Amino acid sequence: MSDRILVVSTDCHAGLPIADYKPYVETKYHEMLDMAVPITVDMMEKSEEMFLIKEINDAWRAPVEQELTGAWDYRQRLNMLTKDGIAAEVIFPDGITEKNTPPFGAGLGLSPKDMVPELQWAGAMAHNRWLAELCANDPARHIGVASIPLLWNVDQAVEAVRWCVDNGLKAVMIPTMWYQQDAYHHVKYDPFWEVCEDLGVIIHFHSGPAPHAEYFGDGFPAEDRRDEFPGAMGVFVSEVMWWLYRPLTFMIWGGVFERFPKLKVMIVEGGTMFMLPPWLRLLDFQYSEGDISAKLGDFKSHLSLSPSGYFQRNVGIGASCVRRADIEARDEIGLDKIMWGSDFPHPEGTWPNTKQYYKDTFSGLPEHDGRKILGGNAVDFYGLDKSKLRAVADEIGPEASLFN
């Protein structure tokens, strides 16, 4: 076994400054894009004021301003990967941090709320075109997660998945929240699950979306009403992970993984993983203690596995910046499920102090377990080219001595 560790970050972000997406947007939407850019930038600045303490964020950014351009500049990105010892990365859209979200609401949230379906699709495909170009620099190292606004049109989503695969993208992100649209236990989504299963495309849900107006008041983010809603941020951070797990509740009970047993799903940046065991216990309780809910009828005979059984078979955890306390619960959660992520280029991530994070978090951990969490599990889950990544890791990977 090589002394160096093969590291895969299952949570990195990339995207162009929003105006720079124009060459990737269909010409017929250029006028709308020109109108949308200043409005979107203004809303991002207002969101940034609410979600980030400006003085702290500015101080964090100052010494790494040039390196932050790795969010879209490939040479800077390679520098980041080298310094962090990352052999491969899974790349999601970006957001407010660098004002480089895809246009027309096609970024991380992919929320359908107040969105124009045609425009959101246009923004998503613009990002996907750029992302395919970025990943084509080295497909073994860069696993791009395409943006798919599934809720509006299933047939269009199926065609988009085929386009993504044809252009080297075999991972997709779909909305975590659906508002007035049909949830994911509706059978109308079966063609989408089917094409992803057939083509080996992994579905992703990324944290962040939540009903912000309930926390911060109507008019968010244009209106700052935090004085009227004390504790709003505390409510948000306490609930946001619940919204990340919620789609899986619908998919599990809806029999999605029963009908499509090879379908793979990742939940990413889910914060503290100690929420997962009690959530799974709740689902399993309702599955196994049927006599308690017998008066509600048969809601489980269409399932051949328990909810936790589907979770263990079909779902992975993108454990961004995972804490040691969560790692200590790996046997309860499932060691094979846990896949580390750096969250570059976000200030809550490990970058630019990832090397110190490795030592602080993984020191004293059994090397076998640490190697799986830092990269081995992701290599298996995503079907990555281990031999190519091993060669990269032998050059830049962190030393195994960090486990001592």
Q: In what order do the strands lie in the sheet with 88-92?
A: 8-13, 88-92, 142-147, 171-173, 202-206, 265-268, 315-320, 338-341
Average pLDDT over residues 159-177: 98
Residue ranges in 136-269 assigned as alpha helix (H): 154-166, 190-199, 212-216, 232-253, 256-259
36: phi then psi, degrees, rounded to nearest 5:
-80, -30
Residue keyed to tokens 């914060």: 271
Secondary structure of 249-287 in the HEC alphabet? HHHHHCCHHHHCCCCCEEEECCCCHHHHHHHHHHHHHHH
Q: What is the dihedral of CA 175, 179, 182, 183, to 10 degrees?
A: 60
- Residue 53: what pLDDT? 63
Q: How far is the CA of 365 from the CAs of 131, 329, 355, in angstroms?
A: 36, 12, 16
Average pLDDT over residues 48-68: 80
Contact between residue 128 and residue 169 where contact means Cβ atoms under 8 Å apart: yes
Q: What is the dihedral of CA 211, 215, 219, 225, to 10 degrees?
A: -170
Mean pLDDT taken over the chain: 93
Q: Which has the minimum average pLDDT: 75-79, 165-169, 180-184, 346-350?
A: 346-350
Is pLDDT of 42 > 90? no
Q: Which has the minimum average pLDDT: 55-59, 88-92, 145-149, 210-214?
A: 55-59
196: phi then psi, degrees, rounded to nearest 5:
-65, -40
**Degrees to nearest 5, angle at CA 251 with 202 and 142:** 15
Is pLDDT of 385 > 80? yes
228-256 pLDDT per residue, tens: 999 999 999 999 999 999 999 999 999 99
Is pLDDT of 290 > 70? no
Q: Report the distance separating Cα 50 and Cα 220, nearest Å.
A: 10
* Sign of the CA dihedral running 129, 140, 149, 165: positive
Contact between residue 394 and residue 356 where contact means Cβ atoms under 8 Å apart: no
Is pLDDT of 52 > 70? no
What is the rounded radius of gyration, in angstroms, for the C-alpha atoms of the chain?
21
Look at residues 82, 176, 166 and name the one whose alpha carbon lies nearest to residue 132: 166
331-372 pLDDT per residue, tens: 999 999 999 999 999 988 999 999 999 999 999 999 999 999
Q: Which domains does the chain have, with CATH numbers?
A: 8-403 (3.20.20.140)
Considering only residues 11 and 288, tell me which one the structure prediction assigns the higher pLDDT. Answer: 11
174-224 pLDDT per residue, tens: 999 999 999 999 999 999 999 999 999 999 999 999 999 999 999 888 888
Residue keyed to tokens 């619940």: 242
Average pLDDT over residues 286-298: 78
Is pLDDT of 1 > 60? no
Residue keyed to tokens 């010892």: 85
Residue type, 186: H
Q: Report the distance separating Cα 366 and Cα 363, nearest Å.
A: 9
- For residue 50, give both structure tokens: 């609410």
Contact between residue 139 and residue 124 where contact means Cβ atoms under 8 Å apart: no
Residue ranges in 19-145 assigned as alpha helix (H): 30-51, 54-61, 74-84, 117-135
**Total residues found in the chain within this entry:** 404
Confidence at 55, pLDDT banded by 50, 70, 90: confident
Query: Residue 359: which residues within 8 A CB-CB, separation 6 or more?
Result: 402
Confidence at 58, pLDDT banded by 50, 70, 90: confident
- For residue 229, give both structure tokens: 């809603």
Confidence at 163, pLDDT banded by 50, 70, 90: very high
Q: DSSP class of residue 399?
A: B
Contact between residue 323 and residue 300 where contact means Cβ atoms under 8 Å apart: no
Q: Which has the minimum average pLDDT: 90-94, 167-171, 236-240?
A: 236-240
What b-and-e string marks burial along 292-320, b requiring 16 or more CB atoms within 10 Å of the CB?
Answer: eeeeeeeebeebebbbbbbbeebbbbbbb
Query: Residue 92: beta bridge partners?
Result: 13
Beta strands in 43-188 (DSSP E): 88-92, 142-147, 171-173
Q: Which has the minimum average pLDDT: 96-110, 145-159, 197-211, 335-349?
A: 96-110
- Strand 265-268 and strand 338-341: the pairing is unpaired
Q: Report the distance separating Cα 2 and Cα 397, nearest Å.
A: 10
